[in-house]
Structure 1
Amino acid sequence: MIVVACPGQGSQTPGFLAPWLELDGVADSLAAYSEAAQVDLIRHGTESDADTIRDTRIAQPLIVAASLIAAQALVGRAGRTPDGVAGHSVGELAALVGSAVISAEHAMRLVGVRGRAMADAAAQTPTGMSAVIGGDEQTVLARLTELGLSPANYNGGGQIVVAGSLPALAELAEAPVKGTRVIPLQVAGAFHTDYMAPAVAALRSAVAAVVPSDPQIKLWTNRDGSIVTSGASALELIVNQVSSPVRWDLCMSSFADNGITGLIELAPAGALTGLAKRGLRGTPTVAVKTPEDLDAAAELLNGAAA
């Protein structure tokens, strides 16, 4: 079973869309996606600097658009769809398209709303996020409770991303739990926590206008790593996900339980294949960063050794 994984915020880098624009039809697709998301994806994906594309309003549409472009190119190259799909955080919107729950246009409209709403929510209170690497998980969680911080992403492989007030994050970094490293992340907000409650309401309103279909391939949810069989449930889950933790660790466990034989991460790729090397040891992976990676991904999708 080959699973395609769609990455989340933080995976974007300056100019990463440039090589994709060399493929036929990509410029037209990005123009349509730009209109739907209300973001100039071609300009920001080829010209804007790291600080500009770190803006949540820009980053989220860029990431989803890149995954959609890469997914279409991969299926065209391989001649078949994957067996299953999952997304990390905002990547779940691309996963909904990959499983035929919603259209690409709907996904881009929703990610535009999501990015703007989460940026607005983050602006209300100065907050941030940090990655905690290593250590005993229960000891780390207990320390977070003491500091008033929340676990935002359980990424597996001994990594938890935590979120909350800047003073509390600073205190955690100054006195880390034994056996851990604390790495501040360049994001302006405590995503996947109660700080994002205003964004949940905005996204729920936008989702109400979308009529979903049920998934046509296996679709995993960040809520608990389970497989979603209802399109309506899938949409509700991506709404609630904005203010609840991402359980990528449970997604990877479920991949293994369902007999995964390979994982392909769509553009802008790298983070999820890195996590898979620790959480899905021995599973072949391909990170589709540029069109040059499509042949290796197509080989894996068709059952050959990558």
Structure 2
Amino acid sequence: MNRSLAAFSLVFLNIPLSAWSGPYPERPIKMIVPFAAGASSDMLARTVADGLGSRLGQPVVVENRAGAGGNIGADAVAKAAPDGYTLGIGSIGTHATNSLIYASMPYDTVKDFAPVTLVASVSLVLVVHPSVSAKDVGELIAYLKKQPGKVSYASGGVGASQHLAGELFKYLAKVDMVHVPYKGSAGSVPDLISGRVPIMFADLPLVLPYIQNGALRALAVGDRERSPVLPAVPTVAESGLPDYQANAWYGMFTPAGTPGDIVARLHRETADILKQPEVRKRLIAQGANPDGMPPDAFRTFQRKEIDRWRTVVQAAKIKTD
């Protein structure tokens, strides 16, 4: 009798938690984006959410919860029930560099999340308002050195990818610019195209229409290779700063403790969505590079990003309360 009970207990303990609550999913799923609507993270989230909704048979509702460099939305994901009904889109800020920048964090960047997949990396493009005379990176560096500390550049917030890209540029080019953070990169666009803040390392999907209509001038892209969307625009590395590389990335996370079979299914479905020819074509045309890497590889990638940007954060003395 005791042996039978022990055997039953072992079987019981090895059944995934999700198996006892019925087939997943049984109700709508929430996907939290920690930035404002209109940003690259929002665009990618809605693309994935639409595809997941069709594949899972339940609506996936995108909820924008911006603030504190993305920490408010990311914290909501970290503290949600680990049942697969709350997903989050994370960024280089929320899941890598905010932990290096903020004096205190409401969550642990690594331990409080189960990684699902890297959704996409997004090219950052160095754009200037037409009022800036520089036509290339070399001319921009000369322009900035003539007026140190007098020219401003925009970003989506302290620690955001656009901020880090700007600080890396300052560090390598030995120039001084004034950082102007916004609540999400989309919020910077009106001031950028008006010339109030004339420079930005911007997410390519966000500013591509303004480059195409001449409202902004693209000087270089931050990736190691040129963008297929802007093949005539050189990289920063080939424009005189060979050690330069910066881009944005956005991945999907669930709260730590989410059953492995649910994480595996979310990864499988999301990766399949990102492989669809029409989805890939649309995202690439907007300046995003779809990915879909497995959870373990995404965790390794995340840890490497934390280590990679630590030097820049320390050199630039980026800190915030």
Superposition TM-score, scaled by structure 1 size: 0.26
Superposition TM-score, scaled by structure 2 size: 0.25
> Which has the larger Rg?
2
